[in-house]
Structure 1
């Protein structure tokens, strides 16, 4: 009797330890921990029941072999210790991307209707294995999977990340690495921002100057907006582009990971790289350069702006539509997905207003406002795309001037455009700056390089893509956007992407009711360790104090908070370095007058964990109402 109790006690401990290893992102629909574990060995077999499952099974064996060194090979069959099954009779609950995973001491069975579901089940299985599974070298480890039953399927069909390769060029190898990490998080859409003012990145064989000229710019360092103008005759060594063979290679790589690539050709604005190659397509016909990050526009703080240099195609020139037909003919032939993103954002119309051709077109169309020319332009573009079997997708500015009912809208300027589009019957992808812009500062600007806007991981996690009063059937899903004005390397792209893309993956995949920030933080921290093993970069800004100030009865008031639970915040204002014996923050503090310096640091469980933040009184004054 005593022996049986001991054995039961040991089993309970082992089961509890196994359950503590279930830290999945995104959170599945249903997770039911079971007693026991399954241990992967050299003798483990991987089988698949149908030929369509072979590619996923092969990918799984490759994924397991690198860190384990086991040399496992996937084979057809139905008795594998790891068994991948495509259902003979589809399970309606799972849909196209869902799966069931049943892990016990006997083995692991993943079942799905489609290979995409098996692929996502594979991602969950690898997250159940020890963190060393993410490593690039063989590790001496017990490769155990906690026993668990999981049923899982996505909330939204569109789960995307936009990657801007115009401001900074990233090689095809880097793009594939980035896609690979997104696929592990069950993202299924890669929005590839290929053209802008700062570089044209896709080969168009019928228009060779787009890449021989438009893909290259002068070398400049420093912050975007503060860089010097190109000099006459200055070399243009910085840039690059993808050949059509490169594009096909990346598409095939993404398809194997169930990721659809949506290309963006940004028109009619953001076209300076195209105009550098073909200046005759503008209103003024002026010679322009591919922009290296100069201050080529004035913004007025209310969403309006003025361009100092023309970067807009001429909507009244038929040669523009002949140009676009050539571009989209080649783009449509390369990309198998139904959508082509045509931009449509931040189109300055001042040059149109002063152009005789545009004025004549407005008279011909009987329109009074120059803004309505964008609607005319977009309808022309949509006809070009429709003729090639593609659907038009654009930023929410395409609503200005009117669009056809079949156009799809990406709502980025908050959620207003998405609400308006959905109520008009358009399909919508929600990607508002307020929740989804991954280029925004995620920590204190005294720690991270300063950027003009802020977005905490906690805020991203709190996003709800279906606005109140909107029919959910029009909301395809959402995505995060990574613009790269201040992102020169893949390593830094990762830093800005994670952990916020982990948070958004759960917003777009997991049930709305399952969201729980403290629970997510626990899982996120285990993924920090996994990212370390994978040599993927990420931000630790969640451990830093959030420093806010306000004025109260003529006094400068200090408010401190932590982004995650369990942080102790210590501060000093006497020019000493804070530690756990300094003043612990518990409530708002009225700061004394005079030239003080605030120093703040966070601790957890008696050990420092966040960055030291130091702010002068002047800096604190400038923060009033901002953070």
Structure 2
């Protein structure tokens, strides 16, 4: 497994654990030298970023970063100060410039500006203005300012991502970018249950996702193969239920302090963590930990395989709901975000009547602790709670009846997160030769992951019901950070664009050129991405 490399931190130190690249998994095509690399001699055009911005007005001479550049931030805004510190941490290693932070005038410098009057920018939008006189990043909320910094990173040469001094010049094309997201929910899921990933591995993925303006990290914390979060009232869930993983490895779990560390780090990158406790199925790790949770009072053995659908909590038992209440109460107390994901998929060992009864009892528990329910789309076979989100993971050829059930719920007020498995399940193989992943939903190349419209995807569901998109990465075959990167990148970049950019910007031929320009940046960051033959990759 590759060793960590330094990347900027937002809170405290400016450096954090990231990754230095090793050889990529599998062979890809040679870089296309016929495609010019704008970073080689001229500034990158303002619109040549991912996700595609809402509005670009190019014009004028570029802004140039120099050894005398200062970063100006409002001393009265703690979050603006932190984002300025983060930006300096990105730029200092590669440029070699001091880039001091100041709250006074900074002629020719970089200004980070928060203004409550910028209502049109919403909670996550921003404006970037570049000219020889200076560079100004403006937002209404700190999240928008952070996203503006990600755009600035992409407008600078890819070498800015390296952790040793590089040659300039460091220029940003002249003009204005004004940008707001299409959807408020732009997510990626990491399954830490089939294989366990450490705090530093999760942090690394958070940093990689943040570059592309992903704002939700869904952590799949429990499954048949492992329970990954400490619960004080049921301690054996973690110590015993978390002691293994697929293939029989050592497993692991997050202490409450470690989980809070992940949440704090995600918040520093403006990602909200959505924790999932999957139930009533996918519960063998819990059933193995406590015999009394089983209808027959007998604990099954721990499980290290990959079959699904064989486990179920005991729906008629009152103790089951004491258990669920305890788990959700402790998890809600730890989690500042809005959502608790209660799973609900592949409950094949639970009768439909029991499934409905279970969800009718569990959803009010989520509300009791001040959170909003998220569930896999099978939740729509019961009665989704008011305000609930259903996460659709079906296929293009899923039955019309199942799609109609989800669409009906959407028309009745249930929001939708779209995660079609044959489009954006990141654990699906790219092609038959992909050394990792599964293929039950088919092969998912880069174009297939990008070339669809969330707003019109599900027949009968109003576009207004779509809360956003999420790219799940299940970990049956995934056990290292290199594995995560190879399967996620570059497909998750396309998902980020589907979530952020207006539908009118979605064009595969234009996107593949912008994506190709991300190759040197991912290389500089040490991301072990799949070099799809569908993309005319550039080399740094």
TM-score by length of structure 2 reads 0.86
**Aligned residue in 2 for 1:147:** 174
Deviation, 1:155, is: 0.3
Residues in 2 aligned to 1:485 and 1:336: alpha-carbon distance in whole angstroms: 29
Deviation, 1:410, is: 0.9
**Aligned residue in 2 for 1:163:** 190
**Aligned residue in 1 for 2:24:** none
The SS at the match of 1:479 is: strand
Unaligned runs of 5+ in 1: 1-12, 221-235, 298-305, 353-369, 544-562, 567-603, 610-627
Deviation, 1:287, is: 2.8
The SS at the match of 1:445 is: coil
Q: For 1:122-155, what per-residue CA distance to the aligned partner results, in whole angstroms no more than 9, with x for missing partners?
A: 1000111111111122223221222131010000
Deviation, 1:212, is: 1.1
**Aligned residue in 2 for 1:392:** 373
Q: 1:41 and 2:69 equivalent?
A: no
Preserved contact between residue 99 and residue 113 of structure 1 (Cα < 8 Å): yes
Preserved contact between residue 196 and residue 245 of structure 2 (Cα < 8 Å): no
**Aligned residue in 1 for 2:263:** 251
In structure 2, the CA distance between the partners of 1:105 and 1:330, relative to structure 1 (3 Å rule), is: same
The SS at the match of 2:281 is: coil
Q: What does 1:80-99 correspond to in 2, within 5 Å? A: 81-89=109-117, 91-99=118-126
Deviation, 1:472, is: 2.6
Preserved contact between residue 274 and residue 339 of structure 2 (Cα < 8 Å): yes
In structure 2, the CA distance between the partners of 1:490 and 1:74, relative to structure 1 (3 Å rule), is: same
Q: For 1:466-497, what per-residue CA distance to the aligned partner results, in whole angstroms no more than 9, with x for missing partners?
A: 23553332211111110010111111101100
Residues in 2 aligned to 1:447 and 1:457: alpha-carbon distance in whole angstroms: 13
**Aligned residue in 2 for 1:552:** none
Residues in 2 aligned to 1:447 and 1:14: alpha-carbon distance in whole angstroms: 31
Residues in 1 aligned to 2:39 and 2:491: alpha-carbon distance in whole angstroms: 33
Residues paired across the two proteins, number: 488
**Aligned residue in 1 for 2:476:** 485
Q: For 1:580-617, what per-residue CA distance to the aligned partner results, in whole angstroms no more than 9, with x for missing partners?
A: xxxxxxxxxxxxxxxxxxxxxxxx99xxx9xxxxxxxx
Q: What does 1:464-475 correspond to in 2, within 5 Å? A: 464-467=453-456, 469-475=460-466
Q: 1:109 and 2:140 equivalent?
A: no
Deviation, 1:404, is: 3.0
Q: For 1:218-241, what per-residue CA distance to the aligned partner results, in whole angstroms no more than 9, with x for missing partners?
A: 783xxxxxxxxxxxxxxx751111
**Aligned residue in 2 for 1:215:** 242
Preserved contact between residue 39 and residue 157 of structure 2 (Cα < 8 Å): no
Q: What does 1:309-328 correspond to in 2, within 5 Å? A: 311-328=311-328
Q: For 1:317-337, what per-residue CA distance to the aligned partner results, in whole angstroms no more than 9, with x for missing partners?
A: 001111111111110000011
**Aligned residue in 2 for 1:277:** 289
The SS at the match of 1:17 is: coil
In structure 2, the CA distance between the partners of 1:284 and 1:177, relative to structure 1 (3 Å rule), is: same
Residues in 2 aligned to 1:287 and 1:424: alpha-carbon distance in whole angstroms: 40
The SS at the match of 2:201 is: helix
Unaligned runs of 5+ in 2: 1-37, 397-402
298, 301, 304: which one pairs with 1:286?
298
Deviation, 1:22, is: 5.3
User: More relative contact order in 1 or in 2 (CA 8 Å, sep 6+)?
Assistant: 2
Structure 1 stretch displaced more, 382-391 or 446-455: 446-455
Q: What does 1:123-138 correspond to in 2, within 5 Å? A: 123-138=150-165
The SS at the match of 1:123 is: helix
The SS at the match of 2:285 is: helix
Residues in 2 aligned to 1:373 and 1:129: alpha-carbon distance in whole angstroms: 56
Residues in 1 aligned to 2:99 and 2:225: alpha-carbon distance in whole angstroms: 46
Structure 1 stretch displaced more, 516-525 or 50-59: 50-59
**Aligned residue in 2 for 1:68:** 95
Structure 1 stretch displaced more, 150-159 or 398-407: 398-407
Deviation, 1:60, is: 0.7
Residues in 2 aligned to 1:14 and 1:263: alpha-carbon distance in whole angstroms: 39
Residues in 2 aligned to 1:14 and 1:65: alpha-carbon distance in whole angstroms: 19
**Aligned residue in 2 for 1:560:** none
Residues in 1 aligned to 2:44 and 2:156: alpha-carbon distance in whole angstroms: 12
Residues in 2 aligned to 1:87 and 1:79: alpha-carbon distance in whole angstroms: 18
**Aligned residue in 2 for 1:616:** none
In structure 2, the CA distance between the partners of 1:449 and 1:206, relative to structure 1 (3 Å rule), is: closer
Residues in 1 aligned to 2:275 and 2:434: alpha-carbon distance in whole angstroms: 34
Deviation, 1:292, is: 1.3
Residues in 1 aligned to 2:408 and 2:429: alpha-carbon distance in whole angstroms: 28
Kindly name which structure, 1 or 2, has the bigger radius of gyration based on alpha carbons.
1
Residues in 1 aligned to 2:59 and 2:490: alpha-carbon distance in whole angstroms: 29
**Aligned residue in 1 for 2:417:** 429
**Aligned residue in 1 for 2:394:** 413
Residues in 2 aligned to 1:501 and 1:328: alpha-carbon distance in whole angstroms: 29
Q: 1:457 and 2:446 equivalent?
A: yes
Residues in 1 aligned to 2:301 and 2:517: alpha-carbon distance in whole angstroms: 47
**Bigger strand share:** 1
**Aligned residue in 1 for 2:339:** 339
512, 521, 529: which one pairs with 1:530?
521
The SS at the match of 1:210 is: helix
The SS at the match of 1:286 is: coil
Deviation, 1:158, is: 0.3
In structure 2, the CA distance between the partners of 1:283 and 1:100, relative to structure 1 (3 Å rule), is: same
In structure 2, the CA distance between the partners of 1:24 and 1:422, relative to structure 1 (3 Å rule), is: same
The SS at the match of 1:36 is: coil
Preserved contact between residue 226 and residue 244 of structure 2 (Cα < 8 Å): yes
The SS at the match of 1:267 is: coil
**Aligned residue in 1 for 2:32:** none
Preserved contact between residue 384 and residue 414 of structure 2 (Cα < 8 Å): no
CA RMSD of aligned residues (A): 2.3
The SS at the match of 1:406 is: coil
Preserved contact between residue 386 and residue 413 of structure 2 (Cα < 8 Å): yes
**Aligned residue in 2 for 1:446:** 433
225, 231, 238: which one pairs with 2:250?
238
